[in-house]
């Protein structure tokens, strides 16, 4: 049993490591970092905000929520039918399948909708699921993020560096 758990953990870590650590972005301004406390939307619209929030989610073992949300955002930009099919299958296997170690928490209604839509995937196959995960992050993880050492430390760092200049 320990061996199986170790193997599962190793495969999960390997999969997570193969994902680029974060989006490329500029260092956030003190105003931007303070703005994240005012609105979850501001946080999610900012690449730097998503990076730091994702770092926080990793500490809570729920990074897959952000990864799923980002994968859905990327899928929405696709126009090529073949690429959409391919990406939709990957998203399904990585985040929706009950066999995936990165499975996101969705209700049965949303799962049924996705299973039907997977017959003919589109760039909007996961919209309901993406909204559900966004809402989950907003209601559940976001308040804890604002009280986390990660956020408070960043807030202090950017405030301190701006007062020096």
pLDDT in tens, 136-165: 999 999 999 999 999 999 999 888 766 665
pLDDT in tens, 53-91: 999 999 999 999 999 999 999 999 999 999 999 999 999
Residue 53: inside a domain, yes or no? no
Residue 10: inside a domain, yes or no? no
Pick the residue with more confidence: 96 or 16? 96
Give the range of the structural domain holding residue 151, as residue numbers without chain letter: 78-156
Residue 3: inside a domain, yes or no? no
Full-model pTM: 0.82
For the chain, give the mean pLDDT. 87
* CATH number of the structural domain spanning residue 143: 1.10.167.10
Residue 66: inside a domain, yes or no? no
Between CA 17 and CA 98, with CA 55 as vertex, the angle to 5 degrees is 60
Of 119, 117, 139, 142, the C-alpha closest to 128 is 117
Residue 55: inside a domain, yes or no? no
Q: Which two tokens mark 122? A: 């589109």
Q: Three-state SS for 117? A: helix
Domain count for the chain: 1
Residue 149: inside a domain, yes or no? yes
Interacting residues of 78 by C-beta distance below 8 A, sequence separation 6+: 84, 87, 123
Residue 105: inside a domain, yes or no? yes
Q: Which two tokens mark 127? A: 């919209």
- The 10 Å Cβ neighbour count of residue 113 is 16
Give the span between the Cα atoms of 121 and 82, in whole angstroms: 10
Residue 32: inside a domain, yes or no? no
- The pLDDT of residue 158 is 86
pLDDT in tens, 8-51: 444 444 443 334 445 566 788 999 999 999 999 999 999 999 99
């Amino acid at each position: 049993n320990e061996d199986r758990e170790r193997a599962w953990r190793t495969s999960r870590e390997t999969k997570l490591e193969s994902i680029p650590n974060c989006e490329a972005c500029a260092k956030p301004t003190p105003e931007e970092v303070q703005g994240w406390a005012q609105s979850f939307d501001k946080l999610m619209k900012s690449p730097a905000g998503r990076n730091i929030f994702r770092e926080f989610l990793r500490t809570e073992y729920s990074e897959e929520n952000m990864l799923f949300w980002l994968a859905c955002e990327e899928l929405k930009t696709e126009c090529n039918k073949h690429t959409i099919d391919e990406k939709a299958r990957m998203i399904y296997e990585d985040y929706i399948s009950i066999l995936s170690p990165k499975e996101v928490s969705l209700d049965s209604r949303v799962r049924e909708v996705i299973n039907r839509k997977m017959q003919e995937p589109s760039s909007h196959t996961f919209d309901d699921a993406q909204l559900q995960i966004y809402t989950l992050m907003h209601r559940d993880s976001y308040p804890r993020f604002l009280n986390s050492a990660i956020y408070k430390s960043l807030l202090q760092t950017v405030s301190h560096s701006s007062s020096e200049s």
